[in-house]
Amino acid sequence: MTTIATPVSLNKQTQFTASLTGPLFALPGGDFAVALGYEHRAESQDFDPGTFFYGADDPDPVTDSDGDGDPTSDRIGYGRATPVLPVHGKFNTDEVSAEFLAPLISPDTGAPIALLELKGAARYVDHSLAGGDWTWTLGGRLGIVRDLVIRGNFTRAIRAPAVTELFNPSSSYFGTATDPCDALQLGNGPAPTIRAANCAAAGLPADFVSLSNSRTFLQAIEGNPDLANEKANSWTLGLVLEPRFAPRLRASVDYVDIHLKDAISNAGASSIVAACYDSADYPEAADCARFTRGPDGQLSFVEVQYLNLADQRYKGLLCALDYRAPLGDPARSIGLNLSYQYIDELSTRADAASERVQLDGMIGYARHQALATLDYRSDALGLFAQVQYIGKAQVNPQAADDFYPDDLDRVPAIAFVNMGTHVRVADRFTLRVAVDNVFDQQHPVPIRRPAAARPISAA
């Protein structure tokens, strides 16, 4: 038996803006300029899943008479489908802003300092649900000599929750999760001692074998109308080199530090359960009330909700180099672009009582990453070759030393080569061809560490 599903989603945004910009007075390095602005924005979302996806009424949702195990849902899906609930919500913001640019010294002034420039901006955002918050930035540039500029700024930023994060109804689905109380997981996590003690307090034996990672069980996700704005403090400090002897060369290096607080995330079932047992506030931690276990101790239900998590942290070094040289004819040139990132720290913490979870060095977050591009341009032809480098990484930097069999916990560094070209055939026709991973380089798999590098276990 088949049916036609008719989901309909309608998003609306109404926006009104006004701005005033221009110079106010002259400074030695140029005009002192300002910009003032006002913005009103209203957003709404209306999602109707249609009859089939919406399902039927649960005859007795209080006692969970449909037997789906989900106390948050009062719908029954048709067939084997889980019900999809409608989403309705709206919010509006009123924002006022001001910016300034103050060029105090420029190279044309003949001052001992080649460059001195300050800039700043501030904005107040009044959100109808998340409340009011300030966001602002202050920075500048300083050139001791003409070829080298020091730059830096501090920024306080915010992000308001989206409609889905605020109003998404409890929607059921089946999924897996890693149980931190499994015997193989007790020694992992940011604080293995706390985890082991909390799992024991929950009545789970040290040799407990969890099935939640190998079979699906009921889960649900829902929005949270009490979400607050995300807030981030970030600062950068760097150098920019533009030497006069190589006028088309530009190199820069910046150190970036970002601290995100009250980050909005749905965390995921594994993170919800781990945050409970890794918390010093167990069993009072909020995440502990979001899941249940059956009589056999197995996870039977996890409710994933959008939450303002405690914080996330990033520290890293960003480097870039750009150079383009003409080849006789101004229409022909060759260019080189290099970029490099070193991740000094990338971590997250589920709540104030939880230990920080390390992500830097994990697969997907290699500490060393680089991209190099060499290209040729002319009126009729373009060519490029690109090399992407991803440094070595681990499956889980915080896993116990003996968690992975045969120490299969690392992947080696790898480089991918991409190439492409474009040819202008006529004034209105251009042919483009690009090939990713030219040499069909396979993604690395975990490798055994040399015996000499293995940790020595205490007797």
Contact 371, 387 (CB under 8 A): yes
Contact 421, 374 (CB under 8 A): no
Q: Using the structure block, give the residue that is written with the tokens 């009921």.
A: 218
Q: Is the pLDDT of residue 77 over 80?
A: no
Closest CA to 235 of 156, 158, 312: 156
Averaged confidence pLDDT in the chain: 87
Lowest-confidence segment of 73-77, 121-125, 383-387 by average pLDDT: 73-77
Nearest 5 degrees, angle CA 83-CA 84-CA 90?
A: 150
Give the pLDDT band of residue 352 (cuts 50, 70, 90): low
pLDDT tens-digit readout, 191-201: 889 999 999 99
- Residue 304 has a pLDDT of 87
Domain boundaries in the chain? 361-459
CA–CA separation, 359 and 367 (whole Å)? 10
Q: What is the CA radius of gyration of the chain?
A: 28
pLDDT, position 330: 77
Do 327 and 334 contact (CB within 8 A), yes or no?
A: yes
For residue 351, the model assigns a pLDDT of 65
Whole-number Cα distances in Å, 191 to 154, 202, 277, 279, 349: 33, 17, 10, 9, 12
The pLDDT of residue 353 = 61
**Exposed, middle or buried, 134 (CB in 10 Å: 0-12/13-18/19+)?**
exposed
Please, what is the end-to-end C-alpha distance for the chain in angstroms? 64
Residue 45: phi, psi to the nearest 5? -135, 135
User: How many CB atoms within 10 Å of residue 60?
Assistant: 10
Token pair for 306:
């959008």
At 395, phi and psi to the nearest 5? Answer: -65, -45
66-70, 135-139, 244-248, 283-287: range with lowest mean pLDDT: 66-70
pLDDT at 455: 36
Residue 69 has a pLDDT of: 47
Backbone angles phi, psi at 108, to 5 degrees: -80, -10
Helix (H) or strand (E) holding 416: strand 414-426
- Per-residue model confidence as pLDDT tens digits over 8-32: 999 999 999 999 999 999 998 899 9
Task: Give 304-325 pLDDT, tens digit per residue.
Answer: 888 887 788 999 999 999 999 9
pLDDT per position as a tens digit, 33-67: 999 999 999 999 899 988 888 888 776 554 454 44
Per-residue pLDDT of 97-126, as tens digits, reads 999 999 999 877 777 778 899 999 999 999
Helix (H) or strand (E) holding 10: strand 8-27
**Tokens coding 296:** 């056999």
pLDDT at 418: 97
Q: Is the pLDDT of residue 344 over 60?
A: yes
